[in-house]
Amino acid sequence: MGIAIPGLNSCSTAISFPVPGKVVIYPRFPVVYIIIPLKSKTFSIHASFLTPSRHFVSTPLFRNMASHIVGYPRMGPKRELKFALESFWDGKSTGEEFQKVAADLRSSIWKQMAEAGIEFIPSNTFSYYDQMLDTTAMLGAVPERYSWAGGEIGFDTYFSMARGNATVPAMEMTKWFDTNYHFIVPELGPNMKFTYSSHKAISEYKEAKALGIDTVPVLIGPVTYVLLSKPAKGVNKSFPLLSLLGSILHVYKEVIAELKAAGASWIQFDEPSLVMDLDSHQLDAFTKAYSELESCLSDLNVLIETYFADVPVEAYKTITGLSAISAFGFDLVRGTKTADVIKSVGFPSGKYLFAGIVDGRNIWANDLASSLTILKDLEAVVGKDKLVVSTSCSLMHTAVDLVNETKLDGEIKSWLAFAAQKVVEVNALSKALAGQTEEVFFSANAAAQASRKSSPRVTNAEVQKAAAALKDSDHRRATNVSIRLDTQQKKLNLPILPTTTTGSFPQTVELRRVRREYKAKKISEEEYVKAIKEEISKVVKLQEELDLDVLVHGEPERNDMVEYFGEQLSGFAFTVNGWVQSYGSRCVKPPIIYGDVSRPKAMTVFWSSTAQSMTSRPMKGMLTGPVTILNWSFVRNDQPRHETCYQIALAIKKEVEDLETAGIQVIQIDEAALREGLPLRKSEQAFYLDWAVHSFRITNCSVKDTTQIHTHMCYSNFNDIIHPIISMDSDVITLENSRSDEKLLSVFREGVKYGAGIGPGVYDIHSPRIPTTEEIADRINKMLAVLEVNVLWVNPDCGLKTRKYTEVKPALTNMVAAAKLLRCQLASAK
């Protein structure tokens, strides 16, 4: 591949990329062109000539600027990996067939980036389930319950850790920092023997190299891995996990040695924990870890990559002082203060800055002109040859390719960039910084930015006025929750330990077919309504047969708990293939909030009323809360997030009022993602929690005392926000509890009093494993040790959408049986 130099490539001698360490001179009288190779695949070209006074002058003519992608979506443009995974799990395809799909995806990703001109292409960011689980496999850190006998970890052990199996539960799953991606939490202890047990990183590096693509192998950094781990079952909760770092580093050294032997010249350690509030002991761990690795990292270029927030000054000083590290990657999108830190504190001479200027977590086209200004300012600080243009984080948090969106509105589409387009943006910025601005591309980008700012469809003055007025009240219900619960019990007449589910029931192939055909206008509205009513009737009858106390309609009409509402609200746009991985094979298709939000008409009242007419038992109206709709959407970035959230809250408030008017006595407003949006830095958390909790209260502040308001949260660490959760003032809250090893209960053991109804989940719905009655009863007893019997509810961890009826029926049967068993025991103990 050659270098396009105006007026030079037309000469007889071709201009080629320089060999590292070799200066190339091309004499073209009266000018001598000198190509100087720089470290990290960059080079500069100087035009040298004699002046009339016979002085030799050299001036920079052209400099290639390197580009980098932190990571890329794994699922494929049309969820190819998801379908291959599920086919393999169901025994419908072989391991070889499954791996062929994965290899084809990896190959296409690498080739795409290479063809786009990306210099630093990552490998080992692909995963069959989760990158943290991949690291657990690499280290051989398999919990004893999986009976792993050693050797290279295969799919049986790997997927058992991720999903559980018939005899043992899965490992805990929780949110990856403040994203909607979930990772598998490592379980470590003093007796863990770390051994190099998965050679995935080296295999993928060699796989790319065989395609002629030299990649940057990516590893979860050793300190982040430990900091995100938890003590294994039976290990004292106060066990110092960082004491295991030395043992873990022995395996990292083996991995690094293999990568070096295979020809890797760069290696990337993802250390996002550096953006957290770390104490001096934790910061020292980074110094010790990379000092320990220094000798084996010799002759390698080493990048420490951070993302999702600003790196605190002390952490910045710690890592930039590490002699073993060649480059540092920072998120300049969510890390709004990082550029100022670099300028004020300084940047180490001779090191490289990987500037994360292209947003890896949203779908808006980059403002190229603005970004270029920021990059030029940084270039003046770090040096012309030391700046690499990058993404703010892995692109796995955004949709794959805008080319696949054939139904998006043309104007809105011009405002967007998915992962494939962001790769192009990174390359365009790097070229512009090197003096090769693509004028047509930049002009089109500027036009799109101007179009979005001026479009009348973005703003609604009436909505903005209503949202602004919300600041005048805290929107608390007038009556204390204990009084409300007494009033509600007189009307609902529920037994102690009332049983319920958290919303969705299995989405069968037939059900998905009905929705798909209705959307494609292959069946009439009448046929669609008839089919959905029949499904609701089946779900209602099943719950009555199981003897659940408070029922749900099963949500057969809903494709997704956020998209369903977004489709009926103004200010939202939708994609066909804008899928993003949430965990494992589970993908979500976030709506795009491009403008002010309002509710044109009722969204759920018809279906909830229909379901209630089929039973005399209480039927929950099921809504998604404003904070979750916000956090699980691609949100407009032209106004503060809390303003958008208040607009959504007003829309949901109208729906709550209409459900109550229709006779629905129990209304659940899910806030599954409230914890997820919590800023990573403590100094920023109070403001977020204030407007997030306020948004929830807005939705139900006007209902009667007899209307019972539920909420639900899942797969996050709730202990540190228990007081804001109490401040939400819901009548009942259900939370994930069983998969996280009942971590939630510890907050109540520590003396926190919770006066509202509460249902910590009694079994993990993300595993195919069916819990026994005794196991569930044991879990309920643990809850009764810290919670009052009159406030405790019995329910699964989360919705049942992803499970099969062959799993759901026996699991719920056992759950109801456990509740009845304990009711009898409690009655006889009186």
Backbone dihedral angles phi then psi of residue 225, each to the nearest 5 degrees:
-60, -45
How many angstroms separate the CA atoms of 666 and 559, rounded? 23
Catalytic residue set: 766
Partners of residue 587 on adjacent β-strands: 581
What does the alpha-carbon distance between residue 390 and residue 216 come to, in Å, rounded to a whole number? 13
Q: CA–CA separation, 633 vs 364, rounded Å?
A: 12
Angstrom CA distances, 585 to 98, 162, 283, stand at: 13, 11, 35
Q: What gap in Å lies between CA 296 and CA 143, rounded to an integer?
A: 29
Distance from the first to the final alpha carbon of the chain: 84
Distance between CA atoms of residues 230 and 234, nearest Å: 11
Q: Any idea what DSSP says for residue 499?
A: B
CB count, 10 Å around CB of 524?
10
For residues 537 and 527, give the distance between their C-alpha atoms in angstroms, rounded to a whole number. 15
- Rg of the chain over Cα atoms, rounded to whole angstroms, equals 28
Beta carbons of 677 and 627 less than 8 angstroms apart: yes
Cα angle at 174 between 168 and 180, to 5 degrees?
A: 135
CA pair distance 759, 744, nearest whole angstrom: 11
Instruction: Give the whole-angstrom CA distance, residue 80 versus residue 96.
Output: 15
Q: Contact at 8 Å (CB) between 124 and 205?
A: yes
HEC string of 531-553 equals HHHHHHHHHHHHHHHHCCCCECC
Per the CB < 8 A criterion, the answer to whether 252 and 149 are in contact is: no
Note whether 77 and 404 are within 8 A (CB).
yes
The position carrying tokens 């080992």 is: 124
β-pair type (182-184, 173-175)? antiparallel
CB 434 within 8 A of CB 63: yes
Compute φ and ψ for 523, nearest 5 degrees: -130, 155
Length of the chain counted residue by residue: 830
Half-sphere exposure of residue 738, counting CA atoms within 13 Å on the CB side?
A: 27
CA distance 388 to 756: 53
With beta carbons less than 8 A apart as the criterion, state whether 686 and 646 touch. Answer: no
Cα(820)–Cα(498) distance, integer angstroms? 9
Three-class secondary structure of residue 597 per DSSP: strand
